[in-house]
Amino acid sequence: MFSEKRNEGRVGHASSLIVGRTAGRVRGRERLNVYYDEDADLSVLKNDIVAIVGYGNQGQAQALNMRDSGVNVIVGNVKDSYYDQAAKDGFKAYSIGEAAKQATIICMIIPDEVQKGVYETEIQQHLSKGKMLVFSSGYNIHFGFIAPPKDVDVIDMFPLTFGARVRERFLNRQSLGSFLAIGQDATGKAKQKALALAKAIGCTRGGTFETTFAHETEINLYLEQVVYPAIFRIMALSFDVLVDAGYPPELVSLEMYLSKEPSEFFASMAELGFFESAKVGSTTAQYGEMTRAPRIIKDDIKNIMKEHLREIQTGVFANEWALEQAAGYPVFNKLRKEGLEHPMNEVEKRVKKLIRPQEAQSKIQSG
C-alpha cells in the first residue's frame, strides 16, 4: 500500500478547526487545515502544462475552470466523443500518451476502474522526475493499484460535487469546496502547486480541506456503499409497500422523489443543519420522523455498517470490484438490468410527461 505522509504543514494563513473524531482507526483530536483563495498563488503554475486526462464529467469542468483561471491546459483522451468535445471547446486534444509526455502536471480524471491500465500503458513512461500526478479520487493510489515512482509529486484533488456543478458554481461565483491530500511531495512544492490547482478549479472559494488519500477514499466509499444505498433501498421498498396497499404508483413516485422535494430537503440540511432542517417540515412531519426513525432503523444496524466499513478499510471491496471487472462485469450488469426492469421506471416515465417543465410554466405566466 502506498505510504502517506501525515499532512501537517500549513501554507499561508489557512484557518484551522479542531474536530473531534469519535470513530475510525485514528482516535483522538486532529487539526484540520482549510485553505482559501488567499492561501493559493496561481503564478506557481506559470511554467506548467496541465494535461487533463479524461474529458468527462469532472475532466471537462476542471479543464474549463483551469483555463478560465489562466492555466495552460491541454487534453489527453482516447478518440471518442469526449475527445471531439474537448477539441470543440477549443482545447489542444492529444492521445493520452502524447498529453502525458508534453505535460508537467497530469490529472487522471478517467473512471477509477480504467486508471490502472491507462496508467501502465500510456502514462508511467512519461512520468519523469519532478512531474506531478493528480487524481480526483484517491482510490487507485490508496488500494495500491497504481504505484507512481518516488521522484514525482502525487496529490488527490477531490471536488465535493459533480462535474456539472463544478463548472456551474465556478461560472456563477458560488461556493465550491474540495478535499486535498498530498500523497507524495518529491519536489517540495507539491502543496503550493496543489493549492494553486485547487484555486484554478475554484475549490479554494468555499474551502479546500486537507486530508489523506485514505480518509478521502474510505469516507467516499462508505457514503456510496452505506448511506446512499440505505436511502435508495428504503425508497424502493416503500414503493412496493404503498403500491401493494393500493396507492396509485404515480402519486407515490411523485411525492417520494419526482417532485424533487428530497433534493430540496437535503439542500436545507446543508444550509440549516442536520436537525434544524427538520423544521422545514410541519410539526406533524417532525413528530412522525422523530418517533418512527429509531423504530425503522434500529441502533444495532451499526454492526452491519461497521462490517461494511471494515470491508472498505481492509481492501475486501476493492479486491471484489477488481475481480468483477476482470470477469467482465457479470454482477454489475445483472443488477443494473434488474433495476432498469423495476416497475418504477415505467411509472416515472408516465409521471414526467405530466409535469410541466420550468420553461412551459414561464411561457404560461408571461403569455
Among 9, 12, 38, 162, binds ligand NAI (CB under 6 A): 162
Among 11, 78, 235, 256, binds ligand NAI (CB under 6 A): 78
Are 144 and 314 spatial neighbours (Cβ–Cβ below 8 Å)? no
Region from 52-60, 254-262, 320-328, 332-340 binding ligand NAI, contact rule CB under 6 A: 52-60
Q: In the complex with ligand NAI, which residue's Cβ is closer, 71 or 100? A: 100
Among 7, 33, 65, 136, binds ligand NAI (CB under 6 A): 136
Q: Does 123 bind ligand NAI (CB under 6 A)?
A: no
**Angle made by CA atoms 85, 175, 53, in degrees to the nearest 5:** 30
Neighbours of 11 (CB within 10 A): 15
Extract the C-alpha cell encoding 321. Answer: 470490484
**Cα gap 181→217, rounded to integer Å:** 10
Are 143 and 315 spatial neighbours (Cβ–Cβ below 8 Å)? yes
Q: Does 62 bind ligand NAI (CB under 6 A)?
A: no
Q: In the complex with ligand NAI, which residue's Cβ is closer, 160 or 242? A: 160
Neighbours of 129 (CB within 10 A): 10
Region from 74-82, 169-177, 225-233, 236-244 binding ligand NAI, contact rule CB under 6 A: 74-82
**Cα gap 77→89, rounded to integer Å:** 14
Among 7, 33, 58, 65, binds ligand NAI (CB under 6 A): 58
Q: In the complex with ligand NAI, which residue's Cβ is closer, 85 or 286? A: 85
In the chain, DSSP assigns E strands to: 15-21, 28-35, 50-53, 73-76, 93-94, 105-108, 132-135, 153-159, 177-184, 207-211
How are beta strands 207-211 and 28-35 bridged, if at all? antiparallel
Among 7, 57, 208, 217, binds ligand NAI (CB under 6 A): 57
Q: Does 346 bind ligand NAI (CB under 6 A)?
A: no
Among 159, 177, 202, 207, binds ligand NAI (CB under 6 A): 159
Among 2, 14, 33, 59, binds ligand NAI (CB under 6 A): 59
Are 168 and 201 spatial neighbours (Cβ–Cβ below 8 Å)? no
Q: Does 112 bind ligand NAI (CB under 6 A)?
A: yes
Instruction: Compute how many residues bind ligand NAI; rule: CB under 6 A.
Output: 22
Q: Which residues contact 356 (CB under 8 A, 6 or more apart)?
A: 364
Q: Which residues bind ligand NAI (CB under 6 A)?
A: 54-59, 77-78, 80, 82, 109-112, 114, 118, 136-137, 158-159, 162-163
